[in-house]
Structures are given as structure tokens and as C-alpha cells.
Amino acid sequence: MSGLVVRRSLTIGALVGLAFMTQGIPLWAQIGEPDDMVRVELSEAFYVLPDSSLSDVISRLNHTRLPGAGGQMSQGLTEYHIRPTWRPIGVGGRCRVSDLTLTVQVRITLPSWPGEALRPEEERASWRVIEDAIRSHEYRHRDLTVHAARSLARDLSALETRGCRALEQVFAGEVALADARLEEAHAQLDQDTPERLSIGRRTGGRR
């Protein structure tokens, strides 16, 4: 969990030359105060859909791939980086974890359609369904990541071995195992999520 891991949802293609907007969000306002050992930094970025009608928006989304670091690409993107910092402390021949902090950086990229304001209410309502589905899915990836970090923090803080060299090895093994489990959980979430833009295709707006 020392590197950047990218999660995506849906099956969509690459938008070239689109404008991006970004903003920071305090996590406590989203899902409650984190555990003392886990520090979460959340930000949102938006790519702009320049289309004038909902049908064009849906067509563009169905051919959209947000670039990421490997794996499938999608209309929504969740990037996360979990970085543990700590120091070993030896007492009476035993060694335990001290001063543990897990910094969790999560960046969620979502679509934005400025033309929505000029369209009929029927199209705006359909767009909100699509937008909410993409946002909800990406935030479930966020929740999985934060939950995994909190569980890992509890496991790491309880580690104790005979000698600090052994502790470093056990610590690294716990982090690697948690990383693999989190990757599986993200993949399972994507697998269990139906293709959300089918809603948009059924209710596509008129020009």
C-alpha cells in the first residue's frame, strides 16, 4: 500500500481535451470522524461534458475512458494511496509498533454537464439519475478504501514480535496482504455493479 492504486467503474472510453475542475472535501463531513491512526484526504475532480443534449451526453459517456494506472477505464474514477508511517519500539526483548499513522489519499473523478441548466426538466431528471449512479459507485470505492485502512491500522497497532527486525518483516507482510484483499474487494464491487448507463439509454432526452 505504498503506491497509487486506481479503481474504475463502468466500461467507457477516453475524452480528449476536456476541462477538469477539482475541489477538496473534508472527509469528516462525508462519513464521520476517522480513527486516530487513520488520516483521510479526499478530493473530487470533474471532467466537463460539452454536449447540448442528454442523448449526446449519453453517447459520449458510452465512449468514454478515463485514463488510469492500469486495469479497465471508466466514466468515474477512484484513485487511492494508503501510506503507513510508524516506528518500532523495543521493550524487554520484545518489539511493538509505535506512532502509527495511515495516510489515505482518495481522489474521485466524476462527469459534469454544464448544459443541463438549459435543458427540459425531463432531461435534467434523467441526468441526475445517471450522475447519482456514477457518484454513488465511486463513493462506495472510497468507503471500501477507508474501511480497509481502519482495519489495517487496528491490525498493525497490535503487532508485537521478539526483536524489531522480525517486526518489520511481519509489518510488511500484513500491509501486502491487506493490499491484495482491498484490490479484490474493489474488483468484486465493479463486478457486482450493473451497467448504470442503461437507465440513461432508456430515458434518453430529445434534442
Length in residues, the chain: 207
Q: What pLDDT, on a 0 to 100 scale, did the predictor assign at position 68?
A: 61
pLDDT of residue 60: 87
Q: pLDDT in tens for each of the 207 residues of the chain?
A: 544 444 433 322 222 223 334 444 444 333 333 468 999 999 999 999 998 899 999 988 887 777 664 445 478 889 999 999 999 999 888 999 999 999 999 999 999 999 999 999 999 999 999 999 889 989 999 999 999 999 999 999 999 999 999 999 999 999 999 999 999 998 888 878 765 444 443 333 322
Interatomic CA distance for residues 137 and 144, integer angstroms: 11
Question: Measured between alpha carbons, how far is 96 from 163 in angstroms, rounded to an integer?
Answer: 9
Domain ranges for the chain: 4-202
Which pTM does this prediction carry?
Answer: 0.76
The pLDDT value given to residue 193: 73
- Left, alpha or beta for 44 (phi > 0: left; psi -120 to 50: alpha)? beta
User: CA-CA distance, 118 to 110, in Å (whole number)?
Assistant: 20
Q: Which of 202, 50, 200 is nearest to 127 (CA)?
A: 200
Confidence (pLDDT) at 179: 93
